[in-house]
Structure formats: C-alpha cells, structure tokens
Copies of this chain bind each other. A is one copy, B any other.
Amino acid sequence: MYNAKAYSAASATSPLASTTIPRRDTAEHDVEIEILFCGICHSDLHTVRDEWHSIMPTVYPCVPGHEIVGRVTKVGPAVTKFKQGDLAGVGCLVDSDHTCPNCQDGLEQLCPNQTLTFNSPDKHGTGPVTYGGYSDSIVVDERFVLRVPANLNLAGVAPLLCAGITTYSPIRRWGDLTGKKVGVVGLGGLGHMGVKFARAFGARVVVFTTSENKKEDALRLGADEVIISRNADEMQQHAGSFDFILDTIAADHDINAYINMLGRDGNITLVGAPEKPLAVSAFALLFGRRSLSGSIIGGIAETQEMLDFCGDHNITADVEVIPIQKVNEAYERLVKSDVKYRFSIDMSSLKSA
C-alpha cells in the first residue's frame, strides 16, 4: 500500500478537504494511474451529502469522482492493454463479478455484484470502501481501464467517462438516427453531451429547455432547434413529431408533456433519476404505442467504443476547469446549475494542497 493525496468529506455536512488515503500496490492485473483530470458529476455531490442514503448510504471519509483521466505510471506483470506513459480513463465502475449473464454480455453496469469507483465495499481491503478520482492517483484492474484517444483535450475527456457514456449508450442503442427527429430534455452536463452525440449520429436535434438564455448555446452545441418548454404553444406545435427523446432531467418534471411529443412507436429514455416517482399517463403511452425507458451508463466495451467515437469525431465535454481547492464552491454552483457544462478538476492543483 502507498499513500495518495486526495480530497475527502468527513461527514454529510462537511466540506471536502485535503487528506491522504491508502491505495493498493499494483497487483498482477492492475494499472496505476496518475490522475490528471476528474470531472464533477452530480452523483459525487449526492453521495458526499448522503442524499442517496436509502439506496446506498455513504461511508465516511468519502472520496468521490468517477470521471477520471490520467497517465499510466505502473502496470502489473500480467497487464497487456497498457504500458507506462499511456493515457487512461476510469469511469463509474472498477470491478464486477465477471460471471453473471450481464457481465458475460459485456454489460458490467448491470452486474449485481459490481464495484463502483467510490463508496462501494473495497474487495481488496485497502479501505472500507473504494475511493474515487478526487486524488492524485488510483489503482484499477486493467479490465476497467479505458484507452483514451490522443487527439482530445484531456480536461474535456474526463466527463466522457460518465456523462458521455450515459448519453451515448441509449442514443446508440436506439438504432439509425440519420434524419430522425431527436429531442434532448435539459441542457446540463448530460444534455449537452446528448446534443453532441445525437448530432454526430445524423439526427435532427431539438433541445427542450426552460431557459430562454440557453437557446444560443444549444444551437452552438449542435442543436437544429430549441423549444422553450414553458411555452405551451411551442410545445403543441411539435406534439407527436419526435422519434426519440433523451430526458436528462433529474428533478421532478411533467413527463407526459414529453411523452406527448413522441410520434408513433416513439421512445423517451430517462438517464436522470428523479427521486419522486414520475406521474405517467397511460393514455399518453397507449395512443401512439409510445414507450418510456431507462438507461444507466454503459458497459466497458461500449465505453471504449464511445471514447473511440469521440476521438474520431473530435467530441469532448464543454468544461470549466477548476483547481481542487474550488471544489466546494463548485458544488454550490452545481446545485444552481451554474456551470457550462461540467466542472473538470485539474489534479495538478492537488500538489499544492
């Protein structure tokens, strides 16, 4: 074991602060990574503040972060995919059981025995739970380490590991989007990636937003059109016209307004998870044979495919780079959706922490 620098929260009400944490020595299949950038995902904040207590109580100290990009510093003797000096990424998962039907189908994100990058019981016993990417280094089994295309801006790559795959997976799975009318509900960390991917797959992209002032930015990001969802007339004009809608809103919202936007056999997929159940009108689903789905991140193979796709299409997240010392302030801004569109922590700042 060795000590790594990190930022951790000591309780649900404590700010994140500088600390040291243990990391395991590089075992046979392990890759040790110097973390260069780590994105800030809303899940970090939920976990740090123990807001998902009923599903997954937070164990403190908590080191969040699962949008990790860095450089390989050491590899175990059995590692074949990486060598020292390679770029590498780590997302929401660092292990799974490898034997369940989901793992066998490359869908580790649905493995019932998965190990999350932070706040999951640590099988290696290095700590009580896993510690995430708000740190200067991490050690991960090579099967959960992704290759990162060399042509991309690394600060903007970090968020691809969660926000990227979360939106890429359902868009990719929907089928051929060429010329299809695709809606993206919400223009935040997830939504702005949804716009980029839907556009890259050839869709006609329409953004639904409550903020008039996001209009220009949505168009810049690749949207063909923007609908102000508070405007009933504007909504009515587009009723029944969408093939697919990606709903990225994690707050309570009127889902039927969007179901009614779908055409025949249209699908709306949730990637945000509102805490309160959604009030779904059966009539809205029946008339038009519409469907409402959910999707959660993606498997390791698909995450690699997404990163390669981003390399080929020069896609990264739009980020605001911050030093780790500003993380608590960034959380406050995140709550107010005051970021375009993801914070990416420059981990070199941890050297002076």
- Taken residue by residue from 96 to 139, chain A's Cβ proximity to chain B (1 for < 8 Å, 0 otherwise) reads as 00000110000100100000000000000000000000000000
Is A257 an interface residue, CB under 8 A from the partner? no
Interface pick from A33-41, A70-78, A278-286? A278-286
A228 to B256, CA, bound (A): 31
A294 to B290, CA, bound (A): 6
Q: How far is the CB of A153 from chain B (nearest CB, A)?
A: 30
**Which residues A233-276 have CB closer than 8 A to chain B?**
255-256, 264, 267, 270-274
Is A211 an interface residue, CB under 8 A from the partner? no
Interface centre among A256, A264, A283 (most CB of B within 10 A): A283
Contact indicator A55/B283 (Cβ below 8 Å): yes
Determine the residue in chain B with the shortest Cβ distance to A277: B279
How many copies make up the complex? 2
A264 to B290, CA, bound (A): 19
Provide the residues of chain B in CB contact with A271, threshold 8 Å.
286
Interface centre among A272, A284, A292 (most CB of B within 10 A): A292
Q: A278-B279, A281-B277 are in contact. Are A292 and B295 (CB under 8 A)?
A: no
Determine the residue in chain B with the shortest Cβ distance to A169: B289
Contact indicator A285/B289 (Cβ below 8 Å): no
Interface of A is mostly: mixed
Q: A278-B280, A279-B278, A282-B278 are in contact. Are A291 and B273 (CB under 8 A)?
A: no
Is A296 an interface residue, CB under 8 A from the partner? yes
Is A323 an interface residue, CB under 8 A from the partner? no
Provide the residues of chain B in CB contact with A55, threshold 8 Å.
283
A-B contact pairs, 20 of them (CB 8 A): A101-B264, A107-B264, A110-B264, A110-B288, A270-B282, A270-B285, A270-B286, A271-B286, A273-B283, A277-B280, A278-B279, A278-B280, A278-B282, A280-B280, A284-B294, A286-B294, A287-B294, A287-B296, A289-B294, A289-B296
Contacts A273-B282, A279-B279 known; 12 new A-B pairs at CB < 8 A: A102-B264, A107-B264, A255-B280, A270-B285, A278-B282, A282-B294, A285-B293, A286-B295, A287-B294, A289-B296, A290-B294, A292-B293
Determine the residue in chain B with the shortest Cβ distance to A166: B286
Q: A102-B264, A277-B281, A278-B282 are in contact. Are A110 and B289 (CB under 8 A)?
A: yes
